């Protein structure tokens, strides 16, 4: 049975664990929220890398076979350091969500052979085809924390996938979600301001939720976009990352029988009571117990 480590600075990564549990059963998950040192979003690269490496080493030492960095800030600022520090495969949240956006936009964009006015062609359509230089580069919009935006990690990953990314810092969304205002007029007003500012500078075909908190307000983001006359597709980082992890795990572990539901264990570096209470909202199911972990920082 594979053991999958999932790391975040706080609770947000539980949206990734939530997506993983049904997708990869027959696995045991160890989740670590470095809650004593959150939020990473306001800290420097050196500090974030030090914190993330400590957490990654802890999960590797617990016997994890795969490690998921379910934290956009740590992925943006410390993925190379984390990969160098542990001997197990590591997946961050940025590459899978950009790849998912690329795939979704390719599906949505008619190729010359798909033009209904043209004759059908026998040439196979590859979803990995290079960009058509007659078409403009597809535009995407990334919503994220200050630190993730300042790293330009999404911009660079998008360039590798022939997408042009506009990165928009939306620092009030995490506090609003943690206040429980996920369906609230103030959150809608803040979203209207942030999205109107962003749509004033670009016309994106996809919006990437570049923070693992944001899936909790995905429907609010979508309805705000529609009010602002944008038809952009929303790409959820939790779902995209879980799909990439499932593919990696399936390659390493042939399907085992009998089918058993996934099990999980949670660690937090601060206030296990708060983790259990707030975390259950992100996980979408009760968290029976949380272990307190001292990483010494």
Closest separation between CB of residue 93 and a copy of itself, Å? Answer: 22
CB of 292 to a copy of itself, least distance (A): 9
The backbone torsions φ and ψ at residue 132, rounded to the nearest 5 degrees and listed phi first, read: -80, 115
Cβ distance 168 to 191 under 8 Å? no
Closest distance between a copy of itself and the C-beta of residue 83, in Å? 24
Q: Which pairs count as long-range contacts for 228-232, CB under 8 Å and 24+ apart, including other chains?
A: 228/192, 228/195, 228/196, 228/199, 230/195, 230/199, 230/203, 230/204, 232/141, 232/204, 232/205, 232/206, 232/207
Residue 186 Cβ vs a copy of itself, minimum distance, rounded to whole Å = 6
Residues forming contacts to a copy of itself in the complex (CB under 8 A) are 35-38, 42-44, 47, 171-172, 174-176, 178-179, 185-186, 189-190, 193, 270-271, 274, 296-297
Give me the catalytic one of 64, 71, 202, 266: 71
Is the CB of 98 or the CB of 268 nearer to a copy of itself? Answer: 268
Closer CB to a copy of itself, residue 95 or residue 178? 178
Bridge-based pairing of strands 263-268 and 28-33 is parallel
Give the dihedral sign, CA 237/281/143/89: negative
Q: Tell me the closest approach of the beta carbon of residue 179 to a copy of itself, in angstroms.
A: 6
Nearest-approach distance from CB 14 to a copy of itself, in angstroms? 16
Residue 151 burial (CB count, 10 A): 22
Q: Is 266 among the catalytic positions?
A: no
Closest CA to 51 of 35, 64, 63, 66: 35
Give the span between the Cα atoms of 96 and 110, in whole angstroms. 23
- Taking CA atoms, 205 is separated from 109, 139, 219, 227, 279, in Å, by 10, 6, 17, 15, 32
Question: Dmax of the chain from CA atoms?
Answer: 66
Do residues 276 and 289 touch, judged by C-beta distance below 8 A?
yes
CA nearest 165: which of 77, 98, 91?
98
Q: Which is nearer to a copy of itself, 109 or 183 (CB)?
A: 183
Q: Which is nearer to a copy of itself, 63 or 297 (CB)?
A: 297
Instruction: Please report how the helices 94-108 and 237-252 are oriented relative to each other, as an axis angle in degrees rounded to 10.
Output: 100
Helix (H) or strand (E) run with residue 134 in it: none
Which of 175, 173, 189 lies closest to 228, judged by CA? 189
Q: Which is nearer to a copy of itself, 186 or 250 (CB)?
A: 186
Q: Which residue lies nearer to a copy of itself by CB, 85 or 172?
A: 172
Instruction: Cite the active site residues.
Output: 71, 211
């Amino acid at each position: 049975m594979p053991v999958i480590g999932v790391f975040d600075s706080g609770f947000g990564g539980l949206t990734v664990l939530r997506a993983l549990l049904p997708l990869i059963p027959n696995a045991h998950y160890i989740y670590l929220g470095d809650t004593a040192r959150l939020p990473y979003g306001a800290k420097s690269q050196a500090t974030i890398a030090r914190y993330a490496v400590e957490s990654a080493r802890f999960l590797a030492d617990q016997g994890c076979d795969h490690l998921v960095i379910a934290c956009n800030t740590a992925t943006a600022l410390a993925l190379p350091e984390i990969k160098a520090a542990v001997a197990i495969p590591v997946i961050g949240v940025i590459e899978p969500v950009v790849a998912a956006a690329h795939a979704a936009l390719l599906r949505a964009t008619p190729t010359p052979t798909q033009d209904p006015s043209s004759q059908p062609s026998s040439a196979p359509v590859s979803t990995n085809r290079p960009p058509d230089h007659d078409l403009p580069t597809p535009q995407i919009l990334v919503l994220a924390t200050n630190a993730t935006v300042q790293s330009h990690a999404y911009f660079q990953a998008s360039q590798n996938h022939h997408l042009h990314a506009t990165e928009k810092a939306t620092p009030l969304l995490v506090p609003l979600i943690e206040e429980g205002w996920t369906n609230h007029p103030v959150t809608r007003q803040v979203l209207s301001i942030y999205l109107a500012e962003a749509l004033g500078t670009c016309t994106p075909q996809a919006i990437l939720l570049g923070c693992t908190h944001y899936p909790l307000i995905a429907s609010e983001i979508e309805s705000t976009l529609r009010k602002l006359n944008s038809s952009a597709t929303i790409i959820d980082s939790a779902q995209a990352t879980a799909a990439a992890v499932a593919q990696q795990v399936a390659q390493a572990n042939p399907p085992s029988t009998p089918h058993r539901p996934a099990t999980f264990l949670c660690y937090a570096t601060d206030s296990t009571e708060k983790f259990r209470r707030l975390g259950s909202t992100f996980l979408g199911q009760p968290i029976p117990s949380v272990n307190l972990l001292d990483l010494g920082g």
